[in-house]
Amino acid sequence: MKRRNVLFGIGATISAGAAVGTGAFSNVSSQRQLTVTVAGDAAGLLSLRPYSGPNGEYADDSGDKLALSLGDDSAGLTRGSQYEFDATLRVGNQGTQPVYVWTEVDSETFADDALYLYQSDAATQFDASNPAEVGVGGDRVLGVYVDTTGVETDSYEASITVHASDEPPEGTAPGDEPAEPSEYVDSLVFDSTASLLAEDGFLDESSVVVTAMDTATSTDADGNGDATAYPDGEDLPLVAADGPVVAFGFPFAQNDVSFGQYGNEEVLLNVLDEYAGSGTVLWDESHGQFYDLASHSSFAGYAEENGYEVTAASSLPGNLADASAVVVTTPADAFTENELSVLSMFASDGGLVVLMDQSDFSDYDQTANLNEVADALDTSIRFNDNQVVDAQNNAGSDFVPVTSSFNTDDYGSLLAAREDLGPELDASEEYEVDVVNVTDGDTVEVQFDDGTQKTVRTVGHDTPETSAENERPQEWEGIDDPETLLKWGDEATSYAEDALDGKTVTLSFDEGEGLRGNYGRLLGLLEVDGSLYNEQVVADGYARVYDSGLGRHDEFWSAEADARAAGRGLWADSDVEATPVVGDDPVSELFVPYATSVTATGGLADERVPVASEGGEPLVAVDEDANVAMLGGPLPDESFESAEGGPGVGDYGNYVFLTNLVDAVAASDRSGDVLVDGGHGQFGADYALAAEDAAYYQRYLEGHSIGLEGTNDYGDEYGPDLADARALVVTAPSEPFTDDEIAAVASFAESGGAVVLASASGDAAADARGHLDDLAAELGTDLRTGTVVTDASNNVGSADNPATTNFDESAFLFEAYGSGDGGDSGTVASVVDTYSY
């Protein structure tokens, strides 16, 4: 079989060129014409044009028929050979309703199975026995199959007719009819999404693929007054299609969307199949996009598994010629006139253009730039400068709406569930798999019994990265040298190769982690030779504990503690005492992420409120008798760090203040680590923190010889000992504490340990605030969570994160923490007893 992407040269309008010599078609005085036409009754329904990829060169639509030219005078189709010309032409539905499309070949030269058009599989003819249903604006990319076996003549004509009808072709057996999808994707998730508009108002429903549920609303999150309001009862479009342009309200299949849990990656791949068919997908990175190809690496791998090449593009004009599709996420930099012109020509030639916006939260969107692109493409779709929220149907936060409101009548093929996501797995079952490749110390490829290969992220631990740009030294206690971590990344890879590569292992899953992670990888526990690899790699000093919701987290933590104490593996290079003091300055301003006020059941006296908003709402309150403090939000949230893509927190004293507060609330003789609760759904929640989300605060505490550790359980033999800690930080828990856990925390507070409770705003955190209030009540404090606090003028990133200088400075909580000599009996601890709450 000769599979050609670019074949020979181009001969005038002949269908098959010739190679001079024995066994090849002669080019002397022969008539060789292969044409493709649309049946007369379908002429108004279908468009027929060359494909935009390399093989489109061999389709010529300059005449009244599309002619295929597959060779030239010096090289051609050899007799006795088979050829597959992938992605040569494109047939599109330019009508107003979905149609069935198929082709018919008429040739006296070629046998029925020797010349035909096909879609992605060259073995399957695109004929009346295998038609395709093409949605409005959709198309099919077709290749040409030619078998010259037995062809003896140099002169032939062949024609291919494309048919279209709103009914399946006559004679199609019921079992051969294009089946409606047996099922559609269950739901789609939209993380911080805008909605869509029309150029002159609101989109016609025939262009809308997906809308938000009717419980969703449109908000002007950035407060700029530039969001277009929808009439009462108007659906909020989130996905729309208009010819070769498909628009999404947010980066639709980014790595943060749980692969396999929702249908996002399936729908986006369906879009590629429907409008591109095959070939190269360019991901535009030439306009300052934050959502680059790396942020969609999981989907890119999925698309490549299904035959596409997905490539980052640092320049569009120079790369579009060889592409079948281009993805443009919200562009920070505007397109030039030349770029817009080139992109418009690409779409006019049938190339797919996928546009993805994002919500106007914190004004991070660049909706105006994206609408300029839409305008140049002559599409009716526009993007709204808004944010869609849904308090009822969401994935944990109201700004992450989930929807199953689909237009399956017009776009069923885009919304169809796919069967190529691998084996159906049950998180409660175990599977015998073979390790076929080791990527690094915490990532392997395994093969199931059916031959399917999948990537497994071994959960509960983290090994050093093997590339410096992906490493965060703050996560590694006492190690801040990237080269040291790179060395141990390679060592961890070698360790995994020795332990796992080529072996049959037992794959299971942890109920606290789920089946798949952000990158589409299975989140697995691997048992090999009677040992749990996930824990053993920690015990041997090649990994740290990953502070997630893992059910065995505290067991793994104990394994790490033993390795650190013994200086095994990478911990031989750890020196916490050498960690310098960073950011320890007097506090001049604080900000409170996702803020609520703090209240008390019997009223809150001013002297118990060291921090209030600029408008006077209490943001921090203290109950000295109960050894409890309540924060209006999770102060040490690292997502606000500039290195993590946030607005930056360098001018704010959150870390200094929180450490002072811990010592002020704890008994004066209390020392030890600061523990962060992660066993109640905090990990992965946008409004709460596990220790994994506070690496920068961990590094700050190290400078004062204070540890920060995660804890998920309070009553077993593993994990950090609550009795030895100075403080327990509990951010908004989506799961309630058990009676035994409450008793353990209450005993800790009664013995002088500080309990710091942190609230959070948002409808999605309502239950979590309730759980936090329940815990506060059981601890004997009158402190409770309050109402949402916003500040449009003084904030970090958005009004939901108010900044303030409204301090009661007599509380002595705003000085630099200490000199770095241990900190556990630093400045505040020695003076706090002079201040009465």
DSSP-derived secondary structure for 476-503: STT---HHHHHHHHHHHHHHHHHHHTT-
- Rounded to 5 degrees, what are φ and ψ at 441? -70, -15
Q: Between 350 and 765, whose confidence is greater?
A: 350
Q: What is the CA radius of gyration of the chain?
A: 31
Same domain, 407 and 514: no
With a cut of 90, say whether residue 27 has pLDDT above it: no
CATH of the domain at 564: 2.40.50.90
With a cut of 60, say whether residue 72 has pLDDT above it: no
* Contacts with 427 (C-beta within 8 Å, 6 or more apart), sequence order: 509, 511, 514, 515
Stretch (H or E) spanning 368: helix 367-376
* Contacts with 627 (C-beta within 8 Å, 6 or more apart), sequence order: 665, 666, 667, 749, 750, 752, 753, 754, 755
Kindly report, residue by residue over 235-250, the tens digit of the pLDDT. 999 999 998 899 999 9
Same domain, 389 and 484: no
- Choose one of 575, 603, 634: the last residue of a domain: 575
Between 146-160, 485-499, 520-534, 571-585, the lowest mean confidence (pLDDT) is in: 146-160
With a cut of 60, say whether residue 24 has pLDDT above it: no
- Choose one of 131, 149, 176: the last residue of a domain: 176
- Choose one of 575, 605, 627: the last residue of a domain: 575
Active site residue 521: yes
Return d(Cα 524, Cα 515) in angstroms, integer.
8
Kindly report, residue by residue over 392-417, the tens digit of the pLDDT. 888 767 888 999 999 998 898 899 98
Same domain, 751 and 726: yes
Between 215-229, 376-390, 421-435, 541-555, the lowest mean confidence (pLDDT) is in: 421-435
- State the DSSP code for 249: S
Q: Whose CA is closest to 320, among 290, 297, 341, 336? A: 341
Return d(Cα 769, Cα 441) in angstroms, integer.
38
Return d(Cα 439, Cα 667) in angstroms, integer.
48
Kindly report, residue by residue over 74-120, the tens digit of the pLDDT. 345 666 778 788 778 878 777 777 778 888 888 877 788 888 888 76
Res. 41 pLDDT band, cuts 50 70 90: low
- State the catalytic residue, choosing from 32, 140, 382, 457: 457
Q: Can you read off the two tokens belonging to residue 591? A: 């900000």
Same domain, 248 and 394: yes
Same domain, 467 and 335: no
Kindly report, residue by residue over 126-153, the tens digit of the pLDDT. 888 888 877 666 677 788 888 878 776 6
pLDDT, averaged across the chain: 83
Active site residue 457: yes
Given its phi and psi angles, is residue 322 left (phi above 0), alpha (psi -120 to 50 degrees) or beta? alpha
- With contact defined as beta carbons under 8 Å apart, do 138 and 93 qualify? yes
Kindly report, residue by residue over 587-615, the tens digit of the pLDDT. 999 999 999 999 999 899 999 999 999 99
Could you tell me if residue 837 is inside a domain? no
What pLDDT shows up at residue 130?
A: 83
Quote the percentage of the chain above a pLDDT of 90: 49
- State the catalytic residue, choosing from 90, 140, 521, 670: 521
Could you tell me if residue 28 is inside a domain? yes
Could you tell me if residue 425 is inside a domain? no
Q: Can you read off the two tokens belonging to residue 647? A: 């607005």
Q: Whose CA is closest to 355, among 364, 338, 343? A: 343
Could you tell me if residue 364 is inside a domain? yes
Could you tell me if residue 822 is inside a domain? yes
Residue 41 CB neighbour total at 10 angstroms? 10
What pLDDT shows up at residue 626?
A: 96
Report CA torsion sign: 607, 609, 613, 617.
Answer: negative
Give the rounded distance of the alpha carbon of 791 from its chain centre: 30
Same domain, 206 and 101: no
- What does the angle CA 327 – CA 331 – CA 334 come to, to the nearest 5 degrees? 120
Same domain, 665 and 601: yes
Q: Whose CA is closest to 769, among 647, 536, 597, 610? A: 597
Return d(Cα 183, Cα 592) in angstroms, integer.
45
- With contact defined as beta carbons under 8 Å apart, do 791 and 802 qualify? yes
Packed helices 766-778 and 739-750: angle between N→C axes, nearest 10 degrees: 60
Same domain, 444 and 310: no
What pLDDT shows up at residue 179?
A: 47
Res. 458 pLDDT band, cuts 50 70 90: very high
Return d(Cα 542, Cα 488) in angstroms, integer.
7
How far the first Cα of the chain sits from its last, in Å, is 84
Domain with 111 in it:
2-176
Kindly report, residue by residue over 670-681, the tens digit of the pLDDT. 999 999 999 998
Could you tell me if residue 183 is inside a domain? no
Same domain, 709 and 759: yes
Same domain, 531 and 457: yes
Between 149-163, 187-201, 689-703, the lowest mean confidence (pLDDT) is in: 149-163
Q: Whose CA is closest to 337, among 301, 284, 376, 384? A: 376
Same domain, 274 and 366: yes
- State the catalytic residue, choosing from 84, 133, 465, 477: 465
Active site residue 309: no
Could you tell me if residue 608 is inside a domain? yes
- What does the angle CA 223 – CA 226 – CA 229 come to, to the nearest 5 degrees? 100
Half-sphere exposure of 62 (CA within 13 A, CB side): 6
- Mean pLDDT, range 52-56, rounded to an integer: 65
Q: Can you read off the two tokens belonging to residue 461? A: 């631990």
Res. 50 pLDDT band, cuts 50 70 90: confident
Q: Between 617 and 819, whose confidence is greater?
A: 617
- With contact defined as beta carbons under 8 Å apart, do 504 and 430 qualify? no
Highest mean pLDDT among 421-425, 437-441, 579-583: 437-441
3-state secondary structure of 79: coil
Domain count, the chain: 4
What pLDDT shows up at residue 30?
A: 31
Could you tell me if residue 181 is inside a domain? no
What pLDDT shows up at residue 824?
A: 37
Residue 545's DSSP bridge partners are: 461
Same domain, 721 and 806: yes
